Structure 1
Amino acid sequence: MIHELRIYHCLPGRLPNLHKRFETVTLKLWEKHGIRQAGFWTVQVGESNNDLYYLLEWESMAECERKWSAFASDPEWLAAKAASEADGPIVGHITNMFLKPTPYSSVR
């Protein structure tokens, strides 16, 4: 199992818009494309409360590339993303990394 950590650094005041997009559109499309999420988090205490953190689970890099590409080019996603950003961008930039568990990790 491969875990991908994605961090969406939202523009000030736009995190509620990102939450709404995930809740109403993104998660349904991920289900359609077989994308599995392991959890979502926001920062309660820390550097920035404009960020959304989440983990995705992949069986392999090939699965990630295939499913993410299909999702990213889905006309329903492209239309929903454009509509959600009609009054301006939501995310300033995205950080993502693929994590490898340590030998002593409880998550494999």
Structure 2
Amino acid sequence: MIYELRLYSVAPGRMHDVHERFGTHLPALFQRHGVECVGRWSALAGPDAPRFVYLLAYRDYAHREAVWAGFYQDAEWWRIRAETNAGHEMVERHDLYFLKPNASWPLASQPDAQVQGGLHELVQQQVAPGRNADANAFLVQTWLPLLQSAGAQVLGVFDMAAGSGMQKIVMLHAWPDAATWHAGRRRIESDAGLRSELARQRREAGTTYFERAEVNLLDPAPGAVIRAGLGRLPA
């Protein structure tokens, strides 16, 4: 299956209107055309924040094309768009990425369990050139266990299939609250085992497998239902 990640730069003062469109006007239309929105958020901090962020799931690219072909031919969408824009575009810019599940993404024990509020985190992690296999091993053996021990719930781990910066792993984490996120991040940065592993990578490979990262801190959208499995289908 594939996922589509959309990040919208919203016109000043119109974030509430975007949430109103997605929470009130679009659910019935999405259901009619098979658009599966598995998560939506506001980006509180990160590049170009504030941004509206949402994640869509499809069986494959053909399914995506069929879904949106029907959606954009529906006169109801154009009515909703005009009504909610109210004479001025709400979205000033959008960034779109296609993702595929990473092999290291752990299966949720209860994939339909609803993820509670709190603070979520979207990480676009640049991977050193030619180090994908090493990066995945690092994820499984070191990074994901450390995140979980620090208090994060791993919602999703993806490979970038299309979009800017193809050599990326994209991760979604849920933290119970901002205090846990802050303490967890400090714990990760000071972890002796992690520092030792990164030193080994630099010594043996001349770089760390994870390079720079783009991080967005996310607030779940009002009324959004985000499930532990993010709509993931069995392989």
Fold shared, TM-score > 0.5 on shorter chain: yes
Aligned counterpart, 1:97: 97
Displacement of 1:44:
2.9
Counterpart check, 1:17 vs 2:17: yes
CA contact under 8 A between 2:44 and 2:50: conserved in structure 1? Answer: no
Q: Within 5 A, what are the aligned runs for 1:2-81?
A: 2-81=2-81
CA contact under 8 A between 1:38 and 1:56: conserved in structure 2? Answer: yes
CA contact under 8 A between 1:36 and 1:57: conserved in structure 2? Answer: yes
Partners of 1:30 and 1:22 lie apart in 2 by 10
Q: Would you say how many aligned residue pairs link Structure 1 and Structure 2?
A: 108
* Structure number, greater radius of gyration: 2
CA contact under 8 A between 2:38 and 2:57: conserved in structure 1? Answer: yes
- Cα RMSD for the two superposed structures: 1.5
| Percent sequence identity over aligned pairs | 34
| TM-score (ref. length: structure 1) | 0.89
Displacement of 1:48:
4.1
Partners of 1:41 and 1:105 lie apart in 2 by 21
Partners of 1:70 and 1:36 lie apart in 2 by 14
Partners of 1:74 and 1:26 lie apart in 2 by 12
| Poorly superposed stretches of 4+, deviation over 6 Å | none
SS in 2 for 1:78: helix
Partners of 1:50 and 1:43 lie apart in 2 by 5
CA contact under 8 A between 1:13 and 1:50: conserved in structure 2? Answer: no
Displacement of 1:70:
1.0
The AA in structure 2 aligned to 1:41 is W
Between 44-53 and 8-17, report the one with greater CA deviation: 44-53
The AA in structure 2 aligned to 1:70 is G
Displacement of 1:49:
3.8
| TM-score (ref. length: structure 2) | 0.43
Displacement of 1:94:
1.5
CA contact under 8 A between 1:12 and 1:50: conserved in structure 2? Answer: no
Unpaired runs of at least 5, structure 2: 107-155, 157-231
CA contact under 8 A between 1:4 and 1:56: conserved in structure 2? Answer: yes
